[in-house]
Structure 1
Amino acid sequence: MTTLLPTSTAGSLPKPSWLAQPETLWSPWKLQGDELTSGKRDALALALQQQQQAGIDIVSDGEQSRQHFVTSFIEHLNGVDFVNRKTVRIRNRYDASVPTVVGPVSRQKPVFVEDATFLRRQTTQPIKWALPGPMTMIDTLYDGYYQSREKLAWEFAKILNQEAKELVAAGVDIIQFDEPAFNVFFDEVNDWGIACLERAIEGLNCETAVHICYGYGIKANTDWKQTLGSEWRQYEQIFPKLQQSNIDIISLECHNSRVPLELLALIRGKKVMVGAIDVATDTIETPDEVAATLRKALQYVDADKLYPCTNCGMAPLARHIANGKLQALTAGAAIVRQELQRR
């Protein structure tokens, strides 16, 4: 990126009301068959326009064709049964009914490549595409076959690598792996989680990112945050090993969080997507609030490596609120960009 402080989103944007229920996570589709296929494309084009009108530099699909950031990928794989579901504890936080791994997992065909090809045709801007990370995938399933979190994660890493290579061939510039599980299972992250992620990025000739947030603004997550005390130091346990990894960009939750920003010094040298927009509130940040978060981060991140971003996805928000937040992000980044250029 030649732009200083290039802006982007963590991933999801609100879906249009004709495609799915607004302000609802993982809402069922309102269309079927060919109508659903064309509806998803229309929504993708709208999400791109929404980002462009707000002045976002690195655009995405807004996850318009996905019901869920993990299972919408998994449902295209062999070896997973979506009918016989089991209840599991997700990230030690809440119970959910999830699909079951019943045999060897494999990918028969590309999952998101057609969508990425469509998006690439609509814009010359850099595109970032989010995929679920291996550890977050295994935490969103019941494993009735491998009986080993690590074994299943390595299988998913191979599959993700196949998908990522085809996304890059379709014109994607940054592949982002969503790993909220990295904020929970610290021993596993350090023992094999980061190595597994490196398997997923093996041989990719594009930039790679890992997004590690504290989750969507849903009650289970906001309740969990209340138990974390006055300082959220989870990142401290995984940053040293991430700093040594082959991942190019680390995407973090910073605004309105209790993360001590001095922890960013532990990943000095990496590019950092600094979450400067709180997705757990309907209050739209002012450009000055965004700028203040970015200035704090600049104490620990070199200016040419700082990418202003949202804390997490914005799927559960009303559309006008998400728009306002995108505009605040770009306006806040512009303030700091001008300050840096004056220096």
Structure 2
Amino acid sequence: MLTLLVTGGAGFIGSNFVHYWLDRHPEDRLVVLDALTYAGNRQNLAPLENHPRFKFVQGDICDRPLMDSLLTTEQITTIAHFAAESHVDRSIQGPGAFVQTNVVGTFTLLESFRQYWLSLGQPPHLRFLHVSTDEVYGSLSPTDPAFTETTPYAPNSPYSASKAGSDHLARAYFHTYGMPTIITNCSNNYGPFQFPEKLIPLMCVNVLQGKPLPVYGDGQNVRDWLYVKDHCSALDAVIQGGSLGETYNIGGNNEIKNLDLVQTLCQLMDELSPALPVTPAQELVTFVTDRLGHDRRYAIDNTKITTELGWQPAMTFEQGLRETLIWYLEHQDWWQPLLNHRP
């Protein structure tokens, strides 16, 4: 039986992971920690409030006394560390919060876990899973091979630089102290509970409201998309069988240009919601000034996690996008209150 501390567990990927883990691992306990900033939403976890193996704690990973107390009193065996500031545009406008949460917060959590691990006699079954992003690797040209675990780091935004710093700390704690850390770097996620400042939910919500669909630059930037539940299953495989001190890249094998994605989304919205304020929805596409330092292409090479752990994404992008849009159409009461918190 594991007792997991899930940091950032009320956010998009974290809350999906919590639902996934409780469903798939009926013997394990989950302690969910979240500061409940704008992107952390207690409603994401509402169905679990009375679950006997679930506990929620509101708090900040930078709060060292709280981290020390939680690890000890809850007898944590595994940390799944999702807590992070993650929106590139916000990092350009205000990088300080990203350094504080992503670098200082991760350092605080690592130090707390190290002291806890030492106090227990360095037990071999403890794990610290650090969940990160493919953006730490920088930008690819159209002909470059996909990112592997040995691709040099070259972050280009304050967000990706702060995540790179946290990755380096997690790696250093394994190599210096022998602490049982594992790092994952994942491509763009999509699915339920994603805050409506991110590309797919933003476009969906704007279509429903008849608002412009802003596409940066020429729309030819390429991203590799992964359905969030496939990400959760990959993290499960890493926690269960990943090698300590290793990094595993997780991707969906779905390289798509931003403009092509938006056009596909518009076609699906025309089909799924025939009473739209503007039809066809594609008429709302509006090109806007490109994002500062906008990376041109990301792509993930999944070979390592596939060959070592036997993981593969199960959801096709077409089906995953359809299911995601249906979720947003059926849960307008979830995203409507969040619109005032968008940048």
Q: TM-score higher than 0.5 here?
A: no
Which of the pair has more CA radius of gyration? 2
What interval of TM-score do these two structures reach, taking the shorter chain for normalisation?
0.3 to 0.5
Structure ranking higher in helix proportion: 2
